[in-house]
Each structure stands twice: as C-alpha cells, then as structure tokens.
Amino acid sequence: MMTQIEFRQSRMKEGVKVTLKRKESDDDEAIDTKEPKRLLTSLPVRSRINTNQDLWKGMSILRQDCRTSGIIPKLEPNLKSDETQYAFLCSPYTDYISTGLMDLGWGCGYRNCQMLMSFLERHEEEGECLLKCVPDISSIQLLIENAWKEGFDPLGAKQLKNHVFKTRKWIGTTEVYTLLAYLGIRSTIIDFHQPGPERLHKDMFDWIQSYFTTEIETKKGRKVYITHRPPLYLQHQGHSRTVIGIEILKSGKRNLIIFDPGRRMLRSFRKRVNYNEESESSNGSSSSEISSSSSSSSSSEEEEEEEEEEEEEEEEEEIDIMNDHHQPKTLRQRLLTKLKKSNRTKSNTSSSASSTSSASSLFYPFRVDDKTIARHRQYQILVLGQVVYHQGKMHWDEKKGYLLNEDEREAMKNVTSLAVM
C-alpha cells in the first residue's frame, strides 16, 4: 500500500498540492530490512557497480540490432508543419527499442527501461559513462532480484514473490526505480492522480513542457529544439511508454511525442527485421554494427490490408504516425506508404545503410494528444535525476546529477514518489 506523507504545505499552483509518498507495508505485515552495518562513503556507487565482475559475468547485453539509434535528430523535419509553434525533444542518445515476438503483451516495462538505459549508457558524468551497458530482459530480471536480495523495495519483492527471472511478470515504475537505485542511478517518481477538468491532465502536460523547455531560449524562425534532457518513463494502468518530447501547437494544444514499445509492426516487416527476443542478447561490444536480415517481403496487397486491419483492432490508443507533410489521410494509406517506402529504401541501398534506414522509416514515434491521455485517470512518470519541490514549483534539478553515493543509495531502498494532488 502507499502511505501518504505531507511534503510541503504550499501549493504548486492554484488547486495543486505536492506531497511526498513512500511505499510501505502494513504494520502487521512489516518486513524486516535490517542489514549488517557497513561503512558508507560519499563516493559515487557507479564505479563499484560497473567494476563488479561477479555481478556482470552472468549478464547479457542487448544486441545492437535490437535497438534503433539516431532517430531523434531525424524527427526535426516532421515537426515543422504550419500548425506547430515549437517542438522540444530529448537527448539524441536515446534509442528506440520495441517489444519482440517473445515479449509481446508483457515486455513494455522492460523495453521502456532499456530506452532510459540507452541514454545512461552514452551519457558521461565525471569522465565515465553512467551505465556499463544495456542489459537484455533476462539480465534486467536478474538485476531486480539482486536488488531485492540487498533489501531494495521489500514490499514490491513480496508482491512479486521475490521472483521475476524467466517469467512474464510485468514491471512498472517501482521496479525500474529499484533497478536504477541498485545500479547507483538517481531517479524520481511523480504521481499524477488528479486528471483535472475534462480529465485532460493539464498539470502533467504543464510539468512535461516545463521539463523539456526550462532554460531553453527560443529563437525566431526556429521551431525544433533538441535538448540534452533524458527521456521520461510514462506509466498508466496496463501499459507504459517513453516520452521523448512535446509539441506545442499554435492553437495552444499540445502533443506528447512518444516511443511506444508495444506498437505492433506489420508482420512482413517483422520478418524482414528478423527480430527474435530469444537471441536479443550479445556478449560482444555494445557498439557493434547494426545488422539485418537480407530477406525481402513478398506480401500481397491483400495480406497487407489484413495486417493493417489487425493493427487497427489491436491498437488501443488513437495515435498519429509522424510522417512527411504530404502523408495520406487514412491510417491504412499511411501504413501502406510507409511499408512501400521502406521496401524501396531497402532495395536501393547497401545492406549496412539499409538496416538503419528501413528500421528508422517505420520506427517513428507517435503524437499523443490530451484527449488520448484523458482515457486514463492516473499516471506515473519516472524521471532520471532529481525532481525537487521549491517555492511552489516542482522542477528537475540538473545540478544534482545522476550518480548516487552510498548513503543516497541506501536511502532509496524505500521507494518514494512526489504526488501532485
């Protein structure tokens, strides 16, 4: 259960109060988390974790051809329509990673976690990358179990029966928070439980806009700004996604720019990519070349139409696939255009360039507007780094950095969150 603790009496804005919440078990079901005393230092945990051979020798690295890099800078042309006033995107260090055939329906939490990790793997602090590598799903499960054994999130461990390895159990913000803290990475959970008028979650949109735009100076004639901000982990009931930016329209409306790992690909494209979660891990360097299957698709137009109908039925959210300015009006036409364009790109380029280009052509993120967000009453956001509440405002504290020292890591064994009330 979640026990609420007042964090500040002052209000973030009219009608909005921020409180600090911590995850606790009931008094009669208290879990003993006492450990032998050890010397805590002010040094970052990162170096100790990254050099722990016993920890990493049993882990597998996510294969490079299971991730699509370099998408963020390529989005700029898609965000220059007449309707767009400004668009702000996260760090280009962020990769797109989708669910594979073996984790459809349950792997979104892991894939969004891996997208956060792709940023951490490339971002340096104090002359060293924040994270050693991006693990595959099985390795993430092992790391979560290791964290539980060290006393992290005892209630969450109990709820999942202290076991996730080689299971299809879902994970969410709490498990990602626990995993990151175990690895010495700072993160903050924010709860948005009050959807507000018309359930449009204006407070959440306001905070996300502030997160991406703070200290960014807009210039006349420029619409798109690529920031150094990490992506955000967005959770609602039954699904999670990665927020990579926000688009502000001249009308005043706003769209979240989303990487959705659960977005289904056309069957013919899955075959062409030749993705298999069973072989997603790699013991080689994480900087290896992206590879792809050389097989081509011979799907008929009738088969493609059937797949598109299946796509429309399975997709819960109404989303807009980002495309060029002359995109067709219907979802079916847009998908057909993308598939044909991908086939032409693949056949007219070298095998190396084809892999990156064809993947990028269909792996576009999605625009999600406030009406779509309104379908769910409650959301959680996990933010890499520290979010603080000061003088009526909740803001991301860049100066705090991402690295935890031993004392901070110890304190994060109890899961806490900021709640917008």
| DSSP character string of 4-19 | EE---SSEEETTEEEE
C-alpha–C-alpha distance, residues 255 and 408, integer Å = 35
* pLDDT at residue 331 is higher than 70: no
pLDDT digits (tens, 9 = 90+) for 274-292: 434 445 665 443 333 222 3
CB-side neighbour CA atoms (13 Å) of 121: 21
Q: What share of the chain is helix, strand, coil (3-state, %, to 5)?
A: 35, 20, 45
Write down the pLDDT at residue 58: 84
With 0-12 / 13-18 / 19 or more C-beta atoms within 10 angstroms meaning exposed / middle / buried, residue 141 is buried
Confidence band of 404 (pLDDT split at 50, 70, 90): very high
Helices 331-347 and 351-362, packing angle to 10 deg? 170
| Residue with tokens 């055939």, as numbered in its chain | 101
State mean pLDDT over 240-254.
Answer: 97
Q: Do 261 and 97 touch, CB atoms closer than 8 A?
A: yes
Q: Which of 170-184, 276-290, 297-311, 386-400 has the highest mean pLDDT?
A: 170-184
Q: Which among 57, 87, 56 is positioned nearest to 73, based on CA atoms?
A: 87
* pLDDT at residue 316 is higher than 50: no
Confidence band of 200 (pLDDT split at 50, 70, 90): confident
Confidence band of 354 (pLDDT split at 50, 70, 90): very low
Quote the radius of gyration of the chain (alpha carbons, Å).
22
Write down the pLDDT at residue 337: 57
Residue type, 381: I
Write down the pLDDT at residue 118: 98
Helices 301-314 and 331-347, packing angle to 10 deg? 130
Write down the pLDDT at residue 100: 84
Helices 108-122 and 173-182, packing angle to 10 deg? 30
Q: Which of 16-30, 160-174, 177-191, 277-291 has the lowest mean pLDDT?
A: 277-291
**What is the DSSP code (8-state) at residue 402?**
S
* pLDDT at residue 39 is higher than 50: no
Distances (CA, A) of 249 to 152, 209, 269, 276, 328: 42, 12, 32, 39, 21
Greatest Cα-to-Cα distance within the chain, rounded to the nearest angstrom:
67
pLDDT digits (tens, 9 = 90+) for 294-305: 333 333 344 444
Q: Which of 92-106, 286-300, 331-345 has the lowest mean pLDDT?
A: 286-300
Q: Do 73 and 44 touch, CB atoms closer than 8 A?
A: no
Q: Which of 158-162, 163-167, 187-191, 277-281 has the lowest mean pLDDT?
A: 277-281
Mean residue pLDDT across the chain: 77
Residue type, 99: T
Domains and CATH numbers, the chain: 2-23+41-261+370-420 (3.90.70.130)
Q: Do 242 and 112 touch, CB atoms closer than 8 A?
A: yes
CB atoms within 10 A of CB 82: 7
Confidence band of 164 (pLDDT split at 50, 70, 90): very high
Q: Which of 10-19, 51-60, 402-411 has the highest mean pLDDT?
A: 402-411
Write down the pLDDT at residue 211: 98
Write down the pLDDT at residue 38: 45
Q: Which among 171, 146, 169, 168 is positioned nearest to 413, based on CA atoms?
A: 146
* Residue 143 vs residue 37, higher pLDDT: 143
State mean pLDDT over 43-48.
Answer: 90
* pLDDT at residue 341 is higher than 60: no
Q: Which of 10-14, 136-140, 314-318 has the highest mean pLDDT?
A: 136-140
Rounded to the nearest 5 degrees, what angle is found at the Cα of 71, between the Cα atoms of 69 and 77?
Answer: 160
